[in-house]
Amino acid sequence: MRTTKTIVILCKYDPRPNRVGGMDLFFSMFNKKLLENNFSVIWMFHEFEYFDLYKNFDVKIPKKGESLANLFIRYSSENNHIPDILITHFLETVNPFYKKCKQIGVKKIFTVDHMPRPLKGYSFQKKIKKRVKGFMYSKYTDKIIGVSRYIIKMTRIDYGTKSSKKVEVIHNGIDVQKFHFKKSFLNSFKTKFIVPTNLRPEKGIQDLIQAVSLLDEDTKSKFCIDIYGTGTYEDELKHSVQEKKLEDIIKFKGSTTQLPELYYLYDYTIQPTYMEVFSLTLLESLASNVPVITTPVGGNLEVVTHKENGIIFNPKEVLELKTIIYDVVNKKLQVKEKNTRELIESSFTIEQMVNKHFKLVQCI
């Protein structure tokens, strides 16, 4: 008689050895925890390349042109392998696929919602489609894991009250011990800002550039901004910096795996984003005792308190951001809390995240 519980985990995510992030660490630690507790685990990624962090994974990938959903149905049929539990990451949390999963015998379906919503919401047509899905298919998802409390509200808006009642919040976490942290808080002559980001329009870096361009020359001489990351909007952003003659202030540093060792060298992190669910960047910065300047989108306010451990401004409000930079640089505005790391150590660690996810499957 079979006693080992079986799990299949579908991830619309592509692990890459040159881009190792917080989700890779979570997947690795979660897989280890499951194997240590006698679970049988199969992972299905959209694309995959083995490297050390994934060395003990049993991974399946789709055929060319095949979706993850179709891979799961095909693999289950061909191998007579119906898991006790299906977990999905980065897939829609309510949709017809989960009805098929229940029909073939999957006992429990947990969907993890990492997805940010557009600042102005979905189009009318998309809203209607999501509400219809909520009415027809919400009963097939046993639990929706929201990586922030923001997901409860958005699930209710997207799919209706019945779906939102299935949301359980498990915040993202980080490996706090990896992050060097600031111990001296003496004001430096030149304020240093760090911007770790993916260079896409929705990250709002164009607003930061515009805000800096509006400052007076004396203020511009008192700070610098280092941007770490790459992305589809990189060329446009670099052109804008050149056009506004800000090359001496704003530097593009490219991608790096050394951020845990870099944050503490800066005075503030700036994240002018339009879309977020629960930002690991905020956790990483605060773990380094570096306050953040960011927007109230997604779950940002679940970790950042205005003028306590960060400064909040409205997305796309360039003049507001300009004023904040001016006031910070000229020592007219600062946050109260110096030890921002304490909050992250107590509430947002990767170990807590793994244990809470494991508790869900342990109860089945």
Number of domains in the chain: 2
* 108-113/143-146 β-pairing: parallel
CA distance 219 to 216: 6
E-strand stretches of the chain: 6-11, 40-45, 59-60, 85-89, 108-113, 143-146, 167-169, 191-196, 223-228, 250-254, 268-271, 292-294, 310-312
Is 283 domain-assigned? Answer: yes
Q: Is residue 57 predicted with pLDDT exceeding 70? A: yes
342 in the same domain as 356: no
254 in the same domain as 305: yes
**pLDDT tens digit string along 315-364?**
999 999 999 999 999 999 989 988 999 999 999 999 999 999 999 998 77
| pLDDT band with cut points at 50, 70 and 90 for residue 224 | very high
Is residue 263 within 8 A of residue 285, CB to CB? The reply is yes
CATH code for position 212: 3.40.50.2000
Is 53 domain-assigned? Answer: yes
12 in the same domain as 151: yes
Is 265 domain-assigned? Answer: yes
163 in the same domain as 64: yes
Question: According to the model, what pLDDT value does residue 18 have?
Answer: 76
Is 1 domain-assigned? Answer: no
Structural domain boundaries, residue 44: 6-173+349-362
183 in the same domain as 134: no
18 in the same domain as 154: yes
